[in-house]
Amino acid sequence: MSSIALFSKTPPLKLFFLASIPGAISMLASALYQTIDGVFVGQFLGATAFAALNLAMPFVIINFSLADLIGVGSSVPISVNLGKENSREAHNIFTCACLMIIGAGVVIGAIMFAAAPLLMRLMGAEGEFARLAVQYLRVYALCSPVTTIIFAVDNYLRICGYIRGSMGLNIFMSMISAGLEFLFLGVFHWGIWAAALATCSGMCISAVIAFIPFFRGKGPPPVLQATVFGEDDPADYCLRKPQLFKQHRRQDYLDYDERYIGAAGRRNCRVGLWYFDVCGRVYPTAAVRHVRLPPASGGIQLGGPEVFAGPRH
């Protein structure tokens, strides 16, 4: 189901459960992994390592929260622009938010890496305890630019209608992180830094997977817009969505629009239908006669013989 159909046609109560239950399951999976993380560190590395993990964790959460702040904040204008069918603006916000998160990850990660010993001393840690906490925190700091993006793209998947996909991704991230941590600590017998590396590896792999729908052009749905063409400059003439998507009524609406605009003094006018895909490309169509919406491969299939390459000026 497309995001437009999901958020505009689903009854509110049903939509609430469709969106909230997968989100709750995702949070449960994350909480279970945090518990397993502590169990693995405590059992394989001892009490001192477990205490060091908990000492460094607040700074890790602060780093993640900044990325989540940008992700949640940018999701609102992205959703608004998608609702307005302003895909180009939604794409720009999406790109800027991702770049901002990566940039913030670089800056905050560099600060945490450099300040880790000082932060642990300020928290009262000394000796082996402080050394383990610094190791743990510095791994997260080094991986910050490629891990924090997962918190934003998880929100973007939800607003694009991939609610179950987001849930599956969070479950996968928890499972692969737990598996890698067991491998690193229980099999290879690495130190506490390997516990952080396992989590970061799982987040990085999940982030790459999460971006696949966007790279493949399966993010926000395409947009249809009717435009008037004549000897004058073309002007946007937006029809309502129900008119555009009802094939058996579309020609009647467009015939009427051409007669109306022609009577208003525009010469040689005709109405064209433009198709904006997820990457912002524009596909011009014929003079909108018997258009079938939309083919799975992209673009618009035409029933009429006349096809023009663009608006006439």
Q: How far apart are CA 6 and CA 138, in angstroms?
A: 42
Mind giving me the DSSP string for 225-286?
EEEEESSS--EE-PPPHHHHH-HHHHHHHHHHHHHHHHHTT-TT-EEEEEEE-TTS-EEE-B
Closest CA to 70 of 52, 94, 46, 34: 94
What pLDDT, on a 0 to 100 scale, did the predictor assign at position 215?
Answer: 80
Most confident of 50-59, 66-75, 76-85: 50-59
Q: How far apart are CA 231 and CA 66, in angstroms?
A: 52
Closest CA to 227 of 261, 265, 263: 261
State pLDDT tens for residues 155-183: 889 888 889 999 999 999 999 999 999 99
Three-point CA angle 75, 76, 77, nearest 5°: 100
Q: How far apart are CA 52 and CA 120, in angstroms?
A: 9
Of 160 and 36, which is predicted with more confidence?
A: 36
* 174 phi/psi in degrees, rounded to 5: -65, -40
What pLDDT, on a 0 to 100 scale, did the predictor assign at position 236?
Answer: 37
For tokens 């999406």, name the residue: 94
For 6-164, strand residue ranges (E) read: none
Calculate mean pLDDT across residues 43-53: 96
> CA of 16: how far to CAs of 162, 190, 220, 227, in Å?
15, 44, 20, 36
Q: How far apart are CA 24 and CA 4, in angstroms?
A: 23
Residue 290 has pLDDT above 90, yes or no: no
Q: Which of 18-27, 44-53, 85-94, 244-253 comes out lowest in average pLDDT? A: 244-253
Q: Are the C-beta atoms of 258 and 226 separated by less than 8 Å?
A: no
What pLDDT, on a 0 to 100 scale, did the predictor assign at position 84?
Answer: 79
Of 197 and 244, which is predicted with more confidence?
A: 197
Residue 185 has pLDDT above 50, yes or no: yes
What is the token pair recorded at 86? 């302003």
What pLDDT, on a 0 to 100 scale, did the predictor assign at position 54?
Answer: 95
Beta-carbon contacts of 111 under 8 Å, excluding residues fewer than 6 positions away, are none
Closest CA to 159 of 94, 245, 64, 225: 94
State pLDDT tens for residues 223-282: 444 443 333 434 333 433 444 444 444 455 555 554 544 444 544 444 444 443 333 333
Q: How far apart are CA 186 and CA 41, in angstroms?
A: 10
What pLDDT, on a 0 to 100 scale, did the predictor assign at position 88?
Answer: 81
Q: How far apart are CA 244 and CA 236, in angstroms?
A: 14
Cα 141 from chain centroid (whole Å): 23
Calculate mean pLDDT across residues 99-114: 95
What pLDDT, on a 0 to 100 scale, did the predictor assign at position 151?
Answer: 87
Closest CA to 151 of 97, 218, 107: 97
Percent above pLDDT 90 for the chain = 52
